[in-house]
Amino acid sequence: RKEVEQDPGPFNVPEGATVAFNCTYSNSASQSFFWYRQDCRKEPKLLMSVYSSGNEDGRFTAQLNRASQYISLLIRDSKLSDSATYLCVVNDEDKIIFGKGTRLHILP
Amino acid sequence: GAGVSQSPRYKVAKRGQDVALRCDPISGHVSLFWYQQALGQGPEFLTYFQNEAQLDKSGLPSDRFFAERPEGSVSTLKIQRTQQEDSAVYLCASSLEGAYFAAFFGQGTRLTVV
């Protein structure tokens, strides 16, 4: 089983809609969780950390479910500029492990 | 500069040639990570340093890959006798310490082996 699994998509979503995707992780001892965004041919950039209680940053909400070992990202009122690949990131001791990413296309 | 800097941005190597990729992390960041990213895939972990100590090199695909960070700052990833399957983007990231702080990435080095 892969350490971090994501639905690769693509998710094709009309502008203004709400979209959510999940990521599952295999190591129950993981303590750090992040979402990164990666644009085509660019480096990954930190979108937000994911805290146990869930957290929100503008239109973005991240949640952690330790019992089921998944994290989620919700994007409200999606913009064309949200089109990107979203990478789920989990620590494995001192390593940072990435999922393969979920591609999101926001349609005008 | 304020961010992670990698050089060169692009490298074309003939099969069998040795290459060296450089990473200059954010000042004060203790931890440094190297990743390999193939087209359409997520970054794959290669190796991790805490200061000058290489604490994990389990992701290095073969003994042709070697990384160092002798003074706990700049790091070099060396690939000997490059093969076509080594073609990828090599990403470097640094964090304050370990995997409990977010990591910040450089722009990567795109290696093409011909």
Question: How confident is the model over A25-42, as pLDDT tens digits?
Answer: 999 999 999 999 999 999
Confidence of residue A66 (pLDDT cuts 50, 70, 90): very high
Question: Looking at the complex, does the CB of residue A104 fall below 8 Å from at least one CB of chain B?
Answer: no
Distance CA A42, CA A35 (A): 16
Distances (CA, A) of A8 to A37, A55, A103: 14, 24, 6
Give, as one character, the DSSP assignment of residue A80: G
What single-letter amino acid sits at B66? F
Mean model confidence pLDDT for chain A: 94
**What's the distance, Cα to Cα, between the start and end of chain A in Å?**
37
Nearest to A96 among B50, B103, B107 (CB): B103
Task: Look at A71-75, A84-88, B37-41 and tell me which has the smallest mean pLDDT.
Answer: B37-41
**Distance of residue B32 Cα from the nearest chain A Cα, in angstroms:** 10
- Kindly list the residues from chain B whose CB atom is less than 8 angstroms away from the CB atom of residue A25: none
Question: How confident is the model over A13-27, as pLDDT tens digits?
Answer: 999 999 999 999 999
- Chain B CA closest to residue A93: B99
B100 with A91: Cβ contact below 8 A: yes
B56 with A95: Cβ contact below 8 A: yes
pLDDT at B1: 53
Question: How confident is the model over B45-64, as pLDDT tens digits?
Answer: 999 999 999 999 999 999 99
pLDDT at B33: 96
Confidence of residue B100 (pLDDT cuts 50, 70, 90): confident
Q: Which two tokens stand for residue A90?
A: 């989990």
- Report whether pLDDT(A1) > 70: no
- Given the structure tokens 């983007």, which residue do they identify? B89
Nearest to A32 among B55, B100, B107 (CB): B100
